[in-house]
Amino acid sequence: MPELPEVETVRRGLEPAMTGQVIDHAEIRRPDLRWPLPDRMADRLAGRRVERLRRRAKYILADLDSGESVLIHLGMSGRMTISGAAPGSFHHERLLAVKHDHIVLDMANGARIAFNDARRFGMMDLVATATAETHPLLAQLGPEPLGNGFDETYLVAALAGRRSPVKAALLDQRVLAGLGNIYVCEVLHRAGIAPTRRCDRLARARVAAIVPVIREVLQEAIEAGGASLRDHRQASGELGYFQHRFRVYDREGLPCPREGCSGTIRRIVQSARSTFLCPQCQR
């Protein structure tokens, strides 16, 4: 599933083609994705100007001049692709019907935006912009890790007294929005913290030190276009490249890349998910 860097990469790719532009025509090719699509969705999108394109955790929101916002989640295999005469550094011919293109937006500037989702685990909804943050999918989310609401004081307080492993706490979207399995593994390796370590057994200074590492890893991943392991593509259709910088994720049996460490990367299972770590330098 795309995590924060992949979703932010898609948002940035869509921005030149969508922000400030009018949706000339919307084609809804099926009544549902993961859940039923909103009533009269095509009519509610056609003729509307996209005022702003933003991200909340792993969701994209397109704020329209109608006072509604399109809430988008890519799910497991969803992609947002651009074809046609879209602004930006790339140009593709406008594509005709493509298998699994379930929602297609023809913009007045000549760009065609398609939501493609082979597995249909993604979703789209239309919500009132003014109250979007109260949507059931957004209401309980924690702060953005790249935002001003996330700092050392917050994380220390959020993890204080928790008996759960630190990895589980960082994956909890109510604690911190947008992090997933890949990036938590990478963060904890850089921080030198074992993912199995209980939160209440971590010193305050060690918890505080996680904050700049989270920001560092996410910024690097965004600059690299995210990580493409299976389905992720940028809006241009290009792959992301952060997978080439992984230190531990999916590197079982390889030497630990930390300078001076002679350990070997191991894979363990936590809450039915793969965790990758170096047992020698992560304590």
With beta carbons less than 8 A apart as the criterion, state whether 11 and 50 touch.
Answer: no
Task: Give the Cα separation of 85 and 110 in Å (integer).
Answer: 5
Task: Give the Cα separation of 129 and 106 in Å (integer).
Answer: 22
Catalytic residues: 2-3, 58, 273
The tokens describing 198, both together, are 């209980």
Instruction: Provide φ and ψ at 184, rounded to 5°.
Output: -65, -40
Task: Give the Cα separation of 118 and 4 in Å (integer).
Answer: 21
Task: Output the DSSP codes for 92-134.
Answer: BPPP---TTEEEEEEETTSEEEEEE-SS---EEEEEEGGGGGG
Match 């397109």 to its residue by tokens: 62
For 2-27, b where at least 16 C-beta lie within 10 A, e where not — what string? bbbbbbbbbbebbbbbbbebebbebb
Task: Give the Cα separation of 210 and 167 in Å (integer).
Answer: 12
